[in-house]
Structure 1
Amino acid sequence: MILLAFFLAHAGFMAFGLSMARHRRDLHLKPIGARRATGLRICGYGLLGIAIWPCWILFALSVGIIVWIGILSAAAISLTVLLAWPPFLAMWSKAFRLTASMAERLREAVR
């Protein structure tokens, strides 16, 4: 349930960010109209609001709100890292692919 809240919050922040022209430019996406931006903004706020539901189910409302705020913070930080550090993530992706290909070649050599 906590992961559900995290993914709902992550999707909410993503929708909210995609409603802003500046962030769409940063991601090299086409500009959108005001109506679609408003729809994305409402969807983002809705997803952020729905993310409190799993926290409320697992914990009482008083503790659930605190957990929800922590999940919102974690989702915002993870989205920031994913958007701000693409070269860093690409480096790790290349390292993972290199390691995987070396392991595959070693496995084929052993056969």
Structure 2
Amino acid sequence: MLLPVLLSYSGFTALCLSMDRHHRDLLARTPTARVRRLLQLCGWSLLGLSLAAAVLATGWSLGLVQWCAALMASALLLVWLLPYRPRLVMLMAALGLLFSPLVALALG
């Protein structure tokens, strides 16, 4: 369940950064249209990878339930951290992307 949470948190962070307001709050600049599209693509791809990781780990029936739980937990964490600890949001997303391949190798 750790891998879907890491991937979904990073995906939600990328989708959050694709919005002008959050990008400006977290990185102190406005994204270009190309950067916005790239962040959206990365965010949706990471959410898709989190679904694949959950389904591959436990099958379709339990995997979908675990994926929904991972989505809710990671979105709640992001929404809670964004106004209070914006720097921690970026650090956790970077660490999630860094440790995701290691967790996948450990599980596989």
Instruction: Tell me the TM-score normalised to structure 2 length.
Output: 0.73
Runs of 4+ in 1 over 4 A off after TM superposition: none
The letter for the 1-side match of 2:41 is: I
Higher helix share: 2
% identity of equivalent residues: 37
RMSD, matched Cα? 1.8
Counterparts of 2:27 and 2:7, CA distance in 1 = 24
Structure 2 stretches lacking a partner, 5+ long: 89-108
Q: CA deviation at 1:85?
A: 2.3
Structure 1 stretches lacking a partner, 5+ long: 90-111
Q: CA deviation at 1:28?
A: 5.1
* Aligned ranges 1:1-111 → 2 under 5 Å: 2-27=1-26, 29-86=28-85
Count the aligned residue pairs: 87
User: Which structure ranks higher in relative contact order (CA pairs < 8 Å, sequence separation ≥ 6)?
Assistant: 2
Q: Which has the larger radius of gyration?
A: 1
The letter for the 1-side match of 2:78 is: L
Instruction: Tell me the TM-score normalised to structure 1 length.
Output: 0.71
Deviations 1:45-96 (CA, angstroms, capped at 9, x unpaired): 000010012211221212211110110010000111111223xx9xxxxxxx
Deviations 1:87-109 (CA, angstroms, capped at 9, x unpaired): xx9xxxxxxxxxxxxxxxxxxxx
